[in-house]
Amino acid sequence: MHEHGHHHHDHSHDHGHDHGHDHPHAAPHAPPAKDEKIHSYHQVLGLALKELLIEKGIVTADEIRKAIEFRDSITPALGASIVVRAWSDPAYKRRLLENGTEAVNEMGANMGDLKLVVVENTPEVHNVIVCTLCSCYPRAVLGLPPSWYKSREYRSRVVREPRTVLKEFGTAIPDKVEVRVHDSTADMRYLVLPMRPEGTQSMGRDALEKLVTRDCMVGVALPKA
């Protein structure tokens, strides 16, 4: 999915497939639940576009459903399995840093037309990811982005005061470590390869994967043993 240019893609899967407006039954309608969303202009536009695409036979409702189901099935566990393999397999780590797209596809991800760039945390550099233009996120390896990642506050502040934002996430980076922000403005998606924590040499793969959370791979947290 090309995320730029579809600024409302984050909403498109949240609605539309769970509202049956043509109720076959004659019973009086219950009042709408309090949390039922009123469709915004752009949501209506999205629904209209979807209906037209289906009517014209360009996509089927089932294909749209499958695509949503697939996207919802991706979780940060995939990213964690990639990180942990890189921690224990130097050849894989080299491939991951040289060509992230191929290396994650090899682990079962599907980057599609997008490219993945993996940026490595070291004792000298701490990386953190943002998309100031919209909310580009390495969805193919982490799934859907958290709401704070898409917030105007995170997007505007992490570029100009990253250390303050990181502290608010509970992550204090010493001044001698360079903080490097990555603003994803094009077709590249970024994934942070965190450092393997001290004292984890005897841990097995499953235990290690639990340490590598979503936030560690965005760069707002560090894995803790």
Task: Select the residue interacting with another protein from 151, 170, 187, 205 (CB under 8 A).
Answer: 187
3-state secondary structure at position 117: strand
Of the listed 12, 81, 136, 216, which one is catalytic? Answer: 136
User: d(Cα 73, Cα 150) in Å, to the nearest integer?
Assistant: 20
Task: Select the residue interacting with another protein from 68, 180, 195, 203 (CB under 8 A).
Answer: 180
Clarify whether 136 is annotated catalytic.
yes
Q: What are 91's two structure tokens?
A: 């050849």
Of the listed 40, 73, 81, 135, which one is catalytic? Answer: 135
Give the burial string for 26-37 (b: 16+ CB within 10 Å, else e). eeeeeeeeeeee
Shortest distance, position 184 Cβ to another protein, whole Å: 7
- Whether residue 180 contacts residue 125, with contact meaning beta carbons closer than 8 Å, is answered with yes
User: d(Cα 13, Cα 179) in Å, to the nearest integer?
Assistant: 34
- Whether residue 119 contacts residue 192, with contact meaning beta carbons closer than 8 Å, is answered with yes
Task: Select the residue interacting with another protein from 185, 205, 210, 225 (CB under 8 A).
Answer: 185
Residue 133 near another protein by CB under 8 A: yes
The answer to whether the Cα torsion of 105, 108, 111, 113 is positive or negative is positive
Total residues binding another protein (CB under 8 A): 25
Residue 97 near another protein by CB under 8 A: no
Residues found in the chain: 225
Looking at the Cβ atoms of 21 and 176, the one nearer to another protein is 176
Task: Select the residue interacting with another protein from 183, 197, 200, 203 (CB under 8 A).
Answer: 183
At 78, which amino acid appears? L
Shortest distance, position 155 Cβ to another protein, whole Å: 10
Residue 51 near another protein by CB under 8 A: no
Q: How far apart are the first and last CA of the chain?
A: 35
Contact letters for another protein, residues 3-32 (x by CB under 8 A)? -xx---------------------------
User: d(Cα 218, Cα 142) in Å, to the nearest integer?
Assistant: 9
Task: Select the residue interacting with another protein from 101, 121, 184, 213 (CB under 8 A).
Answer: 184
List active site positions.
131, 134-136
Residues forming the site for another protein (CB under 8 A): 4-5, 115, 117, 132-133, 159-164, 175-176, 178-188
